[in-house]
Chains A and B, each alone.
Chain A
């Protein structure tokens, strides 16, 4: 074996029972490069990452670090040998009840720095400060408890801590799935700096535009096998093709003609969400799909909460078909024909030990039971099967547990539960979070084909996701609606400018 620098994986295979999750996968990560790994959900990406980071100690094949064969017995072992991982679910990477400082210096805290069994605040503090400065987290308050922080701040802490071990390979699993565009920029700057320093970075993401921008090479995994490596420069289209073969990328868009005099399907008039925030006005016409984009904290989710009856607005009105409605709680909102697919599917939407069928029919149990509340199992099964087929959920049957599905297919189920009944407004909050490209396409085309004369509102921090779906893009920033464009005349720089303006700039304009 030549003493090649970097990390090689050769002929990795892994089975779970009868399922062959990975078969003969070989990659090499060179020092100082950003290597992106892509693959549809369920293709075997996570399994490969778990093999590389020591989570599955029993696998077939070999791993070499700088030409030397290694075998990891645990994630801890892998970290010690130079492989640091930041997992997708941020909250598994930080201890919420501890302060920022304690989290940054967690390794030292657990190891008992200096051989002491006592908790030494000064030592921990000094170490935390050192790590924070190195990572450019200088302005974060080390004394704050992590549970008070935003998702992206938590993620920066997890990354900072991973880097504190001076790894040869840093694995980032979907690092941008819950942070805003500005925070993403900051993350990229950090990654570029690390690349300069000679760290190999394995970057796993569904966001192909990001990969196009930052990656030096792209490795593709398809159905558990090695699908080839693309060298820089590459285009999103090529990556997609390598990932899923040829699929019809173009959703049949039929943007409805809206007469000027039409009564809007949904209208929000002078809606004040928080005291002293600017009143919001928004119209969605029948058959129209409006996408709202904006950074995290721009006020998208807050608007959705009000529309769905989760929070009370300070003042203002909501109209459906020109008639004012009141949503005091979710039940009333649903009664008014306003449905919502919430963000963060795992925490907010999926009932983990329910079958696909039970997950689909949950909002409308009344329709599947008689006057005594007794369930009509046959009807329930038929309707669930119909939805599963219509959305193209990949599963054995509607009786399968939802936990057996990939993220994208779970999302289809969660969307499907709202599409069985007539609605006036469907809100999709970050519907493509952790959803593979094929599932995205399936969901998108189903919604486009079945919009009828209903209003659809999609919220996403990722502009590309919004552009995939919406007929009209509205930008929110600091709780205000700052501009909108129709999908026919999208001007990306302007949209990004609106998104990223600071509060001062916004106030100057106003």
Chain B
């Protein structure tokens, strides 16, 4: 009995995932086609990337609620840079990353120095930048040919290179954003599991006072977690802007919950019971696969949020209830 429990804690999630993968394929063979599989991955890239950032904050026993609006901000900033200011794609990318890092820095300082609880601080930041991103464009979406406040038309365009980040395909098959997501996942995994810094991040999340008393600079690590989260979120926004090719005001909606959900589902993967990069990415892909498969089986779109919520609650209940018995 005990062995069954510990086996299912460890592999239960992956087994469910493999079974549903097989099930969808049998029910609808088109599910297994390469283009469809990559479209699943492409569908999860943006919030998958955001979830990797959220993982850092979860590891230090915090939570960044501002990742969705940071990504949206990044979409608007990238568009504004190229369309209105007519800057190069590279400059737009760099500016976005810097702004993302600054938002993270602000979150970190509010939490560590001003001592606002993490949820409240990042909730505040979320609203702040959600509003801020609308101001430069006067609340409108940004695209080539849009009317500027001075009556002129914005003549800048998204550069080819920039668009390639979101729309390109390697070998005419693998979407570039998917490659970015997987590379980023590997980097975050290596940092968290195989470097001294990752160990300290986890130690702070486990017992911050104990970490402080072995010489860890807890404040600096905490701030760093939010800076990383902000930078990663803004990178996700860049990819989103490149994919859509315009600065859509509503582009960030829904990203936050999907990202946090993926990171939390990750707790269940391999029985980790803690935030971890591998679980986060697997969690994101699982949700994407489920929605894709169900849609192919003609599940109406308005069921999607319900399914996501169900998966999240089930995964968490599974992890924590079984873990207690151990």
Contact = CB atoms under 8 A, between A and B. Distances in A.
A349 interface: yes
Given A330-B215, A347-B209, A351-B210, A373 B203 contact: no
Contacts of A358: 199, 203
Contacts of A372: 195
B324 interface: no
Contacts of A342: 213
Q: Which of B196, B202, B274 has the most CB of A within 10 A?
A: B196
A362 B207 contact: no
Interface string A67-82: 0000000000000000
Interface in A335-371: 340, 342, 347-354, 358, 362-363, 365-366, 368-369
Contacts of A340: 213
A375 B2 CA distance: 33
Interface string A308-340: 101000000000000000000111011000001
Q: Which of B194, B202, B207, B215 has the most CB of A within 10 A?
A: B215
A348 B210 CA distance: 4
B210 A368 contact: no
Interface residues of A, number: 32
A369 B196 contact: yes
B211 interface: yes
Interface string B194-224: 1111011011001101111111010000000
Please report whether the interface of chain B is mostly helix, strand, loop or mixed according to DSSP.
Answer: helix
Nearest to B209: A348
A365 B197 CA distance: 8
A326 to B, nearest CB: 16
B213 A349 contact: yes
Contact of A351 (B2, B207, B273): B207
Contacts of B212: 330
Contacts of B213: 308, 310, 330, 340, 342, 348-349
A114 interface: no
A17 interface: yes
A265 interface: no
A168 interface: no
A304 to B, nearest CB: 11
B210 A375 contact: no
A18 interface: yes
A375 B194 contact: yes
B194 A417 contact: no
A374 interface: yes
Nearest to A18: B2
A373 B192 CA distance: 11
B206 A354 contact: yes
Contact of A375 (B199, B209, B217, B274): B199
B199 A353 contact: no
B194 A351 contact: no
Given A330-B212, A331-B215, A363-B214, A373 B195 contact: yes
* Contact size range, B: 20 to 34
Nearest to B274: A353
A310 B215 CA distance: 10
Interface in A275-298: none
Contacts of B195: 369, 372-375
Given A330-B212, A349-B213, A363-B215, A375 B206 contact: no
A353 B215 CA distance: 19
A365 B212 CA distance: 14
B210 A365 contact: no
A351 B203 contact: yes
B288 to A, nearest CB: 29
Q: Which of B195, B197, B199, B209 has the most CB of A within 10 A?
A: B199
A368 B211 contact: no
A373 B214 contact: no
Contacts of A351: 202-203, 206-207, 210-211
Contacts of A334: 214-215
Contact of A365 (B2, B196, B206, B217): B196
Interface string A476-505: 000000000000000000000000000000
Nearest to A368: B196
Contacts of A375: 194-196, 199
Nearest to A331: B215
B65 to A, nearest CB: 24
Nearest to B199: A365
A329 B274 CA distance: 30
Contacts of B190: 374
Nearest to B190: A374
A350 B197 CA distance: 18
Contacts of B207: 347, 350-352
Interface in A384-430: 417
A354 B274 CA distance: 11
Given A330-B215, A353-B274, A362 B203 contact: yes
Contact of B197 (A330, A333, A354, A373): A373
A365 B2 CA distance: 35
Nearest to B273: A353
Contacts of A377: 194
Contacts of A362: 199-200, 203, 211, 214
Contact of B2 (A17, A331, A333): A17
Contacts of B215: 330-331, 333-334, 363
A365 to B, nearest CB: 4
A508 to B, nearest CB: 39
Contacts of B214: 330, 334, 362-363, 417
A48 B199 CA distance: 37
Interface string B179-202: 000000000001000111101101
A369 B193 CA distance: 12
Contacts of A308: 213
A374 to B, nearest CB: 6
A306 to B, nearest CB: 14
Nearest to A377: B194
A358 B2 CA distance: 26
A353 B2 contact: no
A249 to B, nearest CB: 32
Q: Which of A18, A333, A374 has the most CB of B within 10 A?
A: A374
A350 B213 CA distance: 10
Contacts of A353: 206, 273-274
Nearest to B208: A351
20 contacts: A330-B215, A331-B217, A333-B215, A348-B209, A349-B210, A351-B203, A351-B210, A353-B206, A353-B274, A354-B203, A354-B206, A358-B199, A362-B200, A362-B211, A363-B214, A366-B196, A369-B196, A373-B195, A373-B197, A375-B196
Given A351-B207, A375-B194, A417-B214, 7 more contacts: A308-B213, A330-B215, A347-B207, A354-B202, A358-B199, A362-B211, A365-B199
